[in-house]
Amino acid sequence: MKLLKLYNWFAGSKSDFIESFRENEKLYMQAKNFWDKLDNLSIFIFLIFIVLGISIAAYYYKPYNDKPGRHYTLGHWVFFLFVTLIFVFVVTFGFEYFAVKPTIKGATWLEAKIAICNGLYAVVMYFFTSLAWCNSNLPTNACRIFKK
């Protein structure tokens, strides 16, 4: 499943990326190859934000709020939101870096942009998981901030 299209709005499209190598056939082919390899692994990139977005929210609502320290406050929830953003960025970037080594110019930046975008998606995932958790019967000692 090729899902890199989901990141085009931030990281740019395949053509945007490979067009810059049009002058050099070898690099052009390497860029095309690089993109395709990344696109083939995009399902994993996609899963990273989903799994981590949900997991971090779940960790916040259960184990973290089972411990003392006024963890129910908005400040702690926001802190975990930033944790989600940074953690997902690091994991995504690390995965990309080791899965498809960026050997051509601009490839590292492309992977970074996809990782940033993935972090943002994870934040949205974290938010929606929180929304669902607050409005469901799932147990938590946290404040159900988004409860209607």
Partner 1 sequence: MKKVFVFCIGGTGIRVMKSITMLMASGMSTNGYTVVPIILDPHMDLEEKKNLHSLIDLYETIYKKTIDNGTSTLNPLEGFFNSEMQTIGEINNQLNDTHQAVGSNEKFRSYINMSNLDTKDINNYFVETLFSTKSLNNPLSVGFKGNPNVGTVVLGEMIEQADWFKAFKIHCEKDDRVFIISSIFGGTGASGFPLIEKKIRNASQQPAVKNVIMGAVTVLPYYGLKDPSTTGSDIDSTNFYTKTKAALAYYDKNIKSDYLYYIGEKTLRQVYENDEAKQEDTANFIELIAASSLFDFLKREKPATQQFLSRAIEDDKESMSISSLGSGYNDIVKCVADYMLLRHLIDDVPNESFFPLVKNRGLNSAFYKDQPFQNLKKFTDIYFKWYHELATNKRAFAPLHYDDHKHMAGWIKHMELDAKDDSYYLLEMIKASNAYKDKVHSNKFRFFLQFAYDAINYYTKKLEV
Rounded to whole angstroms, the Cα distance separating 17 from 5 reads 13
Verify binding: residue 139, partner 1, rule CB under 8 A: yes
Q: Which of 9, 74, 98, 103 binds partner 1 (CB under 8 A)?
A: 74
Helix, strand, coil % over all residues of the chain, rounded to 5: 70, 0, 30
Verify binding: residue 67, partner 1, rule CB under 8 A: yes
Q: Closest approach of Cβ 71 to partner 1, in Å?
A: 8
Q: Closest approach of Cβ 140 to partner 1, in Å?
A: 8
Q: Which of 1, 69, 98, 103 binds partner 1 (CB under 8 A)?
A: 69
Question: DSSP letters of 68-97?
Answer: SS-TTSHHHHHHHHHHHHHHHHHHHHHHHH
Rounded to whole angstroms, the Cα distance separating 15 from 72 reads 46
Residue given tokens 């993109």 in the structure block: 35
Task: Round the CA-based radius of gyration of the chain to a whole number and report it.
Answer: 18
Q: Which of 43, 86, 132, 145 binds partner 1 (CB under 8 A)?
A: 145
Q: Which of 73, 78, 79, 94 binds partner 1 (CB under 8 A)?
A: 73
Binding segment (CB under 8 A) for partner 1, from list 2-10, 12-20, 81-89, 139-147:
139-147
The Cβ of residue 39 has, within 10 Å, a number of other Cβ atoms equal to 17
Residues that bind partner 1 (CB under 8 A): 66-70, 72-74, 139-145, 147
